[in-house]
Structure 1
Amino acid sequence: MKMLMFDTESFWFETFSKTLEHVEDVKKEEKIDNAAVVFMHVEMEDEERKNKVMKSALKNFKWYLNKLDKNKIVLHSFAHLSSSTSSPEFAAEMIYEIKDKLEEKNIEVYTTPFGYFSEFSIHVKGESLAKVFKEI
């Protein structure tokens, strides 16, 4: 898994086009202020090491939120961080399991619709820690 994490003032998105036929039709627009935004890419090799990847991702997200002193995170599937790509079903499963586990820790979690290209606008803060890349 690869994760590009941002400390944002605001993140706005609107669904643009459906990329997977089997996902439900969604038309969504949302703006989330003052959150960590994570562009995440689930890789093919993650399918064989799901528990390790899940544990490490959760640890990284909690570490990042703690460093930013935030309790709000946006998970955005972004299949452009690696040439290795898991099945769409596995990627969606990972994202929604991570979402559930973070919510169990009383973290406010948002997700962009899986299986869609979205138009987005992101206001990232300027500090060094506002832009972090992690690879699991």
Structure 2
Amino acid sequence: MKVLVFYVNSFGYEPRTKNLDNAPAPGVGIEIKDAVLAFIQVEELDEEKDVISREKKLVNHLKWVARKNKTQRVILHSFAHLSESKASVLFSQQVFDAAQKRLENAEYEVWQTPFGYFLDLKIDAPGKSLARIWASL
């Protein structure tokens, strides 16, 4: 799994183009302030392990970044451009859903961007230490 995390002053999106035939309706765009924004690519090798081990590794990383940036808000964004390897859509969605549940159980506010859509993005990210972190989990 590859993860590129930004601390953002604000993040907004508007659904633009559906890129998965069976993706559910995306709803309307939103704006979120003071959050950790995680661009996540679940890889094919991740499927050799179980969903729980993958989401636990992801959540631990996101909680660490959130603590460093003094926020309890996390945005999960599927971004299949961090590696040439891609897990199945089903496995990726299961990792995202499990990570969201674990984070919410730890009293984080969590959002997922619409899975299966290209989005127009607005990102306001400050240039400070630990505001941008890449990891291979």
Relative to the length of structure 1, the TM-score reads 0.96
In the TM superposition, residue 27 of structure 1 has moved relative to its aligned partner by 3.7
Question: Is the 8 Å Cα contact of residues 3 and 135 (structure 2) preserved in structure 1?
Answer: yes
Work out the number of aligned pairs and report it: 136
> Structure 1 CA distance, aligned partners of 2:77 and 2:85?
17
Matches within 5 A, 1:1-136: 1-50=1-50, 51-136=52-137
Question: Is the 8 Å Cα contact of residues 8 and 33 (structure 1) preserved in structure 2?
Answer: yes
| Structure 2 runs not aligned, ≥5 long | none
In the TM superposition, residue 7 of structure 1 has moved relative to its aligned partner by 0.8
In the TM superposition, residue 28 of structure 1 has moved relative to its aligned partner by 1.9
> Structure 1 CA distance, aligned partners of 2:129 and 2:107?
27
> Structure 1 CA distance, aligned partners of 2:86 and 2:13?
23
Question: Is the 8 Å Cα contact of residues 73 and 107 (structure 1) preserved in structure 2?
Answer: yes
Relative to the length of structure 2, the TM-score reads 0.95
| Structure 1 runs not aligned, ≥5 long | none
Question: Is the 8 Å Cα contact of residues 54 and 95 (structure 2) preserved in structure 1?
Answer: no
Question: Is the 8 Å Cα contact of residues 41 and 82 (structure 2) preserved in structure 1?
Answer: yes
Q: Aligned partner of 1:115: which letter?
A: G
Root mean square deviation of aligned Cα: 1.0
Q: Aligned partner of 1:93: which letter?
A: Q
- Give per-residue Cα distances to partners, 1:48-91, cap 9 Å, x unaligned: 12333222111101111111111001000000000000011111
Q: Aligned partner of 1:121: which letter?
A: K
Question: Is the 8 Å Cα contact of residues 14 and 27 (structure 1) preserved in structure 2?
Answer: no
In the TM superposition, residue 25 of structure 1 has moved relative to its aligned partner by 2.1
Question: Is the 8 Å Cα contact of residues 10 and 124 (structure 2) preserved in structure 1?
Answer: yes
Q: State the percentage of identical aligned residues.
A: 35
